[in-house]
Structure 1
Amino acid sequence: MIKVLVVDDSALIREVLSKTLAADGDIKVVGTAHDPLDARDKIKALNPDVVTLDIEMPNMNGLAFLQKIMRLRPMPVVMVSTLTTKGANETMLALELGAVDFVAKPSSDLSGGIERFGIMLREKVRFAAASDVQARVHRAPAPNVPIKTAAAAAGSLIAIGASTGGVEAIRQVLSQFPADCPPIVIAQHMPKGFTGRFASRLNDLVDVTVLEAEDRMPLAVGHAYIAPGDFHLRVEKSSGQLKCRVTQDEQMSGHRPSVDVLFESVAKVIGPKAVGAILTGMGRDGANGMKMMRDAGAFTIGQAKGSALIYGMPKVAFEMGAVVEEASIEKIAPRLVQALMRIKAAA
């Protein structure tokens, strides 16, 4: 039984979340709190496994409270966010501060997909309960050894896939790449309305230029392209140029965007000139596509257990022989660059 504390200033939302979370019988709402001060006392008294947290609340902003939780008593937190530009920005900050994941709050009249919202909320709470927040918070920071160059052979490409916990993991990997690296394509499980803000936030933090991918957008050196929420991202080559292909065909591996879809296209179009990484996340999306990449001659790496917030997707990829090796998050960018140098030397 997963014990959850629901924190929200709206009595109606607290009631809806409590009923929704309890629907399958494996999650128990042990308490609710109307603001962070109330939540602080109830965390101490009830010792929940997971906290669901609103952002805009009286007495203390949810982000400020999240910072306190991660500093004083690290535990899994799922943000319940509004689908607005402001809400998306604050959600990105929450994930940087240590929240495991987020779910978009249902509209005020609770219409339009309350059942789907409930399924997603329960799934994310289960993932959060299985995450290793303590290890992430207490892991010693890696020494910052800058990569001076990642200039690669023409036609080279970096592919990255992630799910739960991926926002921070992707930031850590991208922050190590210099601006001369080959194009980077990324599939991160994230809903429509948030991927644009994710790309914009990353663009402010790293040396490469980060964009939300658009259909037929050319792939350029020193640029990273994020798959848009609810769309697949593929790589194609037309008129001798590598481009993004953004489509809304059926889900694969239960997801859109799907890491498998991206990796399979990279295997077919780029082959041995590609390098790829599969990062933290629950489930198996990306494992089959990464196996195709490795079989096509690409160098592939998975985030190691103890480094990944959720060692799910990397574990499946490792067990099926899809990755050449595993590494902690701070070593993934250097290993990808080393592989690119070998490709360049062999060209």
Structure 2
Amino acid sequence: MKLLIVEDSALMRRVLRENFADQDDLEIEFARDGEDALDKLAQFEPDVITLDINMPKMDGLTCLAHIMEIRPCPVIMLSSLTERGAMATFEALELGAVDFVAKPDGTVSVDMSSVMDELKRKIRMATQTRARTRRSMRAGAKPRVSKASAAPAQRTRFPNCAASELLLIGSSTGGPGAVQTILEDIPADFPLPILISQHMPPKFTAAFSHRLNEACAVDVVELSETCPLQPGTVYLAAGGRDVVVRRKLKRLVAETVPSDPKYVWHPSVSRMVDSALDHVEARKLIGVMLTGMGDDGSEEMARIHKEGGATIAESEETAAVFGMPGQLIEKGGATCVLPVQKIAGELLRWTENTIPARRRQCS
């Protein structure tokens, strides 16, 4: 596999070279800045690129835009763990980056050991993704359809969601764009609260929730404390922590809690859905599983489906990584399988006769 590392700091290039020394199957080329990266793009023909954001001559976002124009390939952004770094990262995901890794100590991180396992894993996973922008996905670019994604797409039933109380969404790699695509088509009077676990580090979810709130009709908030769940509001689990559902004084609430090491990914989709099932009948839950590697939440969402609730798995044709939705389908847990741009419409059809939670609690 050919890996192009774009990093302006000589010290960081040396640190990364040392950390990749044990990866015998990687052919690595370094670029000093964005202009150097574009020069090497054609001659080296990388399979994956890691791209720093803050660079002289040509910054990472400008370089990324040129890469997607000249020779699209999977790009992983190396971001600083700051609010400014988070905002730039979401711009990069909008432009077509498939994922990001946050440097632990800012723009120049001598100690990369804490994130190297994550970076190596995401580099190898990136070869399975398709480089594309969210805008092209929404514009209806014709994607490939595999037998794996097409076979389960036939609906076996139209679920009865009139009594639904809560919509749960889980996503990981490629998820920010998918989540925004769905929420942009959800109206402000949506009858259910929406709870989202998106795998993301601390500080990034605040920027993501702000970005979503600006773009969507529904209110979007980062869940940073115990909060009653209101219809027409989206609650994004805080990065690096988990979210659980409780019932207090007959009302559903969401609590942010320290991450539990028994779960691999955080915020954990499995823990979110499992806690919801403890306090809400499965038939009153709707689950949506979006792009991401691994199987976080697949078993629990399959339980929603098997116990009378409704679930949607994002289809392989739009998923950046088909791991999480693919696992839900394999477990027989998907009511239907849809490309991401059709999920909101299906949710609106399912819930058009649903009594809003606020009115239900007052009756």
Task: Provide Cα deviations, 1:180-204, integer angstroms capped at 9, x if missing partner.
Answer: 1111000011011211111111111
**TM-score scaled to structure 2, two decimals?**
0.86
1:141 aligns with 2:152: no
Q: State how far apart, in whole Å, the 2-side matches of 1:207 and 1:119 are.
A: 38
Match of residue 159 from structure 1:
168
Q: State how far apart, in whole Å, the 2-side matches of 1:170 and 1:246 are.
A: 20
Q: Which moved more, 1:126-135 or 1:217-226?
A: 126-135
Match of residue 146 from structure 1:
none
CA shift for structure 1 position 106: 3.8
Other structure's SS at 2:352 match: helix
- The alpha-carbon distance between structure 1 residues 153 and 134, as it changes in their structure 2 partners (threshold 3 A), is closer
Q: State how far apart, in whole Å, the 2-side matches of 1:243 and 1:337 are.
A: 23
Match of residue 194 from structure 2:
184
One of 177, 180, 183 as aligned partner of 1:174: 183
Match of residue 154 from structure 2:
none
Q: State how far apart, in whole Å, the 1-side matches of 2:97 and 2:126 are.
A: 9
Match of residue 16 from structure 2:
17
Match of residue 289 from structure 1:
300
CA shift for structure 1 position 265: 2.0
1:324 aligns with 2:335: yes
Other structure's SS at 2:300 match: helix
Other structure's SS at 1:204 match: helix
* Structure 2 counterpart of 1:84, one-letter code: T
Match of residue 216 from structure 1:
226
Other structure's SS at 1:89 match: helix
Other structure's SS at 1:283 match: coil
CA shift for structure 1 position 217: 0.8
Q: State how far apart, in whole Å, the 1-side matches of 2:200 and 2:261 are.
A: 13
**TM-score scaled to structure 1, two decimals?**
0.90
Q: State how far apart, in whole Å, the 2-side matches of 1:187 and 1:219 are.
A: 15
Task: Provide Cα deviations, 1:48-80, integer angstroms capped at 9, x if missing partner.
Answer: 001110111111121111112122321100000
Task: Provide Cα deviations, 1:10-67, integer angstroms capped at 9, x if missing partner.
Answer: 01111222332343434331x1111111110111100000111011111112111111
Structure 2 stretches lacking a partner, 5+ long: 142-160
1:90 aligns with 2:120: no
Q: State how far apart, in whole Å, the 2-side matches of 1:298 and 1:339 are.
A: 11
Q: How does 1:41-56 map to 2 (within 5 A)?
A: 41-56=39-54
Contact 2:94–2:133 at 8 Å: present in 1 too? no
- The alpha-carbon distance between structure 1 residues 66 and 286, as it changes in their structure 2 partners (threshold 3 A), is same
1:110 aligns with 2:110: yes
Q: State how far apart, in whole Å, the 1-side matches of 2:264 and 2:222 are.
A: 21
Other structure's SS at 1:255 match: coil
Q: State how far apart, in whole Å, the 2-side matches of 1:225 and 1:233 are.
A: 10
Task: Provide Cα deviations, 1:94-121, integer angstroms capped at 9, x if missing partner.
Answer: 111111111112424624xx32211111
One of 307, 328, 336 as aligned partner of 2:318: 307
Q: State how far apart, in whole Å, the 2-side matches of 1:190 and 1:281 are.
A: 12
Contact 1:252–1:258 at 8 Å: present in 2 too? no
CA shift for structure 1 position 138: 5.8
Task: Provide Cα deviations, 1:240-280, integer angstroms capped at 9, x if missing partner.
Answer: 21111111142344112111111122233232122111000
Contact 2:313–2:336 at 8 Å: present in 1 too? yes
Q: State how far apart, in whole Å, the 2-side matches of 1:125 and 1:54 are.
A: 14
Q: Which moved more, 1:236-245 or 1:39-48?
A: 236-245
* Structure 2 counterpart of 1:44, one-letter code: A
* Structure 2 counterpart of 1:13, one-letter code: M
- The alpha-carbon distance between structure 1 residues 154 and 209, as it changes in their structure 2 partners (threshold 3 A), is farther
Computed over aligned residues only, the root mean square deviation of the Cα atoms, in angstroms, reads 2.2
1:263 aligns with 2:262: no
Structure 1 stretches lacking a partner, 5+ long: 144-151
